A = this chain, B = another copy of it.
């Protein structure tokens, strides 16, 4: 909530995330071929420092936020101060497709790293849905993906061990980052990426305690599966790590 450009009409194209060609920001791709086709839509860009809250449960949002850069998380707070992370938001992600239809969110979104995001006005975005089938398709795809991930998480939390949950979380993030071109593969076929999560984020996302996360990660390290240092993650043995993640 630091810098706030004055709201002004711009192309829906969001150069910051265009490269990812994904999710809502990817809709820019759907439109750009025929340049005459660009939509004028009210849009605001904001920058939020790490750890700050992007929006709260109570906020009535007229705005639909999209992450342009940085990592964020949607989290539900319980009354005893325990937390459950519903999903991590990466560049190009719509915070929640439900916001397209309802100005209410039952969880809060917080920045993990410094985050740049843009908001579209719901009514504008909703209107373009009807006039631009490509956007409609992009958004329904985003919606399906969001739900698929939620369902996967339900299965993970309901039926998998701590090791599996943590490995799967990391592999899922690696996959999503790689779709965005945000991973590198070394000559030893290890996968390398920026990884700003603290262990408590991993704990909040997997339904575990930070203490146990620490133990499991040490175990993974000892097994030569991963290497974490300096806010970056290397999956040294992707095949072995996937084996851990599946198991059963």
A155 to B153 CA separation, bound complex (whole angstroms): 10
Contact of A159 (CB < 8 Å), options: B78, B140, B143, B159? B78
Given contacts A147-B146, A150-B151, A154-B153, contact A159 B84 (CB under 8 A): yes
Which residues of B are found within 8 Å of A101, using beta-carbon distances?
A: 140-141, 143-144
A11 contacts the other chain (CB 8 A) = no
Shortest Cβ distance from residue A168 to the other chain B in the assembled complex, whole angstroms = 13
Q: Which residue of B lies closest to A205 (CB)?
A: B158
Would B143 and A98 count as touching, CB distance under 8 A?
A: yes
Instruction: Enumerate A143-167 residues with CB–CB distance to B below 8 Å.
Output: 143-144, 146-148, 150-151, 153-155, 157-159
Which residues of B are found within 8 Å of A151, using beta-carbon distances?
A: 76, 86, 106-107, 150
Chain A interface helix/strand/loop/mixed: helix
A222 contacts the other chain (CB 8 A) = no
Which residues of B are found within 8 Å of A98, using beta-carbon distances?
A: 143-144, 147-148
List chain A positions with a Cβ less than 8 A from chain B: 76, 78-80, 82-84, 86, 97-98, 100-102, 106-107, 130, 140-141, 143-144, 146-148, 150-151, 153-155, 157-159, 206-207, 246, 248
Would B248 and A106 count as touching, CB distance under 8 A?
A: no
| Apart from A76-B154, A84-B158, A159-B207, 12 more pairs, CB < 8 Å | A76-B151, A76-B155, A78-B159, A78-B248, A100-B140, A101-B141, A102-B144, A106-B151, A107-B151, A147-B147, A150-B154, A157-B158
Task: Give the 8 A-B residue pairs with the shortest CB-CB distance, closest first.
Answer: A158-B207, A157-B157, A101-B140, A80-B248, A150-B150, A84-B158, A84-B155, A98-B144
A107 to B154 CA separation, bound complex (whole angstroms): 12
Which residues of B are found within 8 Å of A158, using beta-carbon distances?
A: 84, 157, 206-207
Which residues of B are found within 8 Å of A107, using beta-carbon distances?
A: 151
Shortest Cβ distance from residue A196 to the other chain B in the assembled complex, whole angstroms = 21
A101 to B146 CA separation, bound complex (whole angstroms): 13
Which residues of B are found within 8 Å of A76, using beta-carbon distances?
A: 151, 154-155
Which residues of B are found within 8 Å of A97, using beta-carbon distances?
A: 147
Q: Which residue of B lies closest to A147 (CB)?
A: B98
